[in-house]
Structure 1
Amino acid sequence: MTDKPKIAMVLAAGLGKRMRPITDTLPKPLVKIAGKPLLDWGLDSLAASGVEKAIVNVHYLPEPILAHVAGRTAPRVVISDERAKLLESAGGIVKALPELGSAPFYVINSDTFWIEEGWIERGKSNLDRLALAWDGARMDILLMLANLDQATGHSGSTDFLMAPDSVLSRARGDPTGLIYAGAAIIHPRIFAGVAATSHSLNIYFDRAIAAGRLFGMKMHGHWITVGTPDAIPKAEAAVEKALADAP
């Protein structure tokens, strides 16, 4: 890609049920890890990569999120309001397509983030590297991936197997596979003619696999996902260790 994406979709509309009782009164994107809300970990990474506009979707307890991002300028935040109906990962993107435009854009989850200090000094950030790896002629979706030993808070199995040419297939529990690390570049053409109904991005991952157009890139650094209250201290310890161990 000659130009990095300047627009991103930040998926922040989930109910955070597994994070209860914290999320009884606080939306999950505003849960703090090492003093910083999860949402800001993602927005700060986007800002560092030159993203100018981030579309943040909201559904559950939206008012604190609206207030939190109101003064943000890097990136500028545009709210996609899903208060009427939760649209899941793909439906939320489809609803936001008028703001996302016709060029490839970043998508990040608001409940995962990564620590890459030290690696950036060696070259590019993970989002920069995703942009460099993007090839719209061959790809519809490019996913950032992590090894199991790079991850904190991940309780499931692996998600994808990556071939030598970076083409992805489903791991189906293969322990040698990789985890989807909650960041991607997606071309909006895959949503052509699609209605903004509640549905998952996994549908599009599988379609891209079938077409040989789902690709992956291994991230640098340490990846952290925060799903339950007991994951918070583990995440904070991982942040401290990753920063201390950064090359």
Structure 2
Amino acid sequence: MTQPPNAVMLFAAGFGTRMGTLTLNRPKPLIEVAGRPLIDHALDLVDALGPVRKVANLHYLPDQLEAHLAPKGVLVSHEQPDILDTGGGLRAALPLLGSDSVFTLNSDAIWSGLNPLTMLRAVWNPDLMDALLMCIPTAQAIGHAGAGDFTADETGRITRGPGLIYGGAQIMKTEGLVEIPDKVFSLNLLWDRMQKKDRLFALTYPGRWCDVGHPEGIALAEGLLADV
């Protein structure tokens, strides 16, 4: 039996510009939802996996985040002087992650329902997949007005198109990162390469999800957590 990934990359380096004044003096992952920092909600999902290596990338106001994460056993990958985007950030953190396949998790979303990480782990098949993304049907995405990022076929393979929103949780192989020459790049570039090989898959989330990307999202997320 193939071993599942034993490392998680938490994306926490962004500026949180859409949060306005809320991120003038603190990084977005420390904004509170229902009395707890956003990143602690994410860590609850990670800790349910059992013992795994936890790494977060830091750039904006990193000292605050590092002080918060150190007691929680989270290693940090500092991105200086430039922020590296998701792809560049993941590649820079590989020495700390120490794994050829990893979970990645955005630190600015709230999930209501089953743990997306344990769901991904149960379905992950590296013989068939280079990445398995947790995606949300548009009707289950709270406060999200877009048409979606991906369209899935009956096998779970995905292509660009409407219908499913990427929720910010996935398992992916990291070997393709070394083939990209850019220093700063998005994981979208790697996904597109995987899709051309028919090795990009999605799992559809059965619960609800809220992206806390703007101040109004805080109240929406708190309402989601309260409605259980």
SS in 1 for 2:167: strand
CA distance in 1, matches of 2:98, 2:201: 22
Distance 1:28 1:91, change over 3 A: same
The whole-number CA distance in structure 2 between the counterparts of 1:201 and 1:22 is 27
Match of 2:97 in 1: 100
| CA displacement at 1:191 relative to structure 2 | 1.3
Residue aligning to 2:53: 53
User: Does the 8 Å CA contact 2:106/2:168 hold for their aligned counterparts?
Assistant: yes
Which residue does the alignment assign to 2:121? 131
Compute the displacement of 1:4 (Å). Answer: 3.1
2:6 touches 2:99 (CA, 8 Å); kept in 1? no
Larger deviation: 48-57 or 8-17? 48-57
- 2:107 maps to 1:110: yes
Post-superposition offset of 1:195: 5.3
In the alignment, structure 2 segments of 5+ residues that lack a partner are none
TM superposition shift of 1:67 = 1.0
Q: Whole-Å Cα distance in 1 between the matches of residues 143 and 158 of structure 2?
A: 23
Specify the code of the residue in structure 1 equivalent to 2:157: V
> By how many angstroms is 1:102 displaced?
3.4
Are the equivalent residues in 2 in contact too, given 1:59–1:83 (CA < 8 A)? Answer: yes
1:43 counterpart residue number:
43
Corresponding residue of 1:80: 77
Q: CA deviation at 1:169?
A: 0.5
Contact 1:7 / 1:51 at 8 angstroms: preserved in 2? no
Aligned to 1:186: 172
Equivalent pair of 1:8/1:51 in contact (CA under 8 Å): no
The alignment partner of 1:21 has SS state of helix
Moved more, 49-58 or 191-200: 191-200
Question: How many angstroms apart in 2 are the aligned matches of 1:200 and 1:126?
Answer: 22
Greater Cα shift, 14-23 or 194-203: 194-203
Q: Please report the RMSD computed on the Cα atoms of aligned residues, expressed in angstroms.
A: 1.5
In the alignment of these two chains, the number of paired residues is 228
Q: TM-score, normalised by structure 1?
A: 0.88
For residues 196 and 47 of structure 1, what CA distance do their matches in structure 2 show?
33
Deviation at 1:196, TM superposition (A): 6.9
**1:2-41 Cα distance to aligned partner (Å, 9 max, x none):** 4332210001000110001100111100111111111111
Which one-letter code corresponds to 2:170 in the other structure? A
SS at match of 1:114: strand
Equivalent position to 1:197, from 174, 183, 193: 183
Which residue is equivalent to 1:209?
Answer: 195
* 2:137 corresponds to: 147
What fraction of aligned residue pairs are identical, expressed as a percent? Answer: 38
- Where structure 1 has 5 or more consecutive residues not aligned to the other structure, the ranges are 120-124
Equivalent of 2:148, from 158, 171, 190? 158
1:233 aligns with 2:219: yes
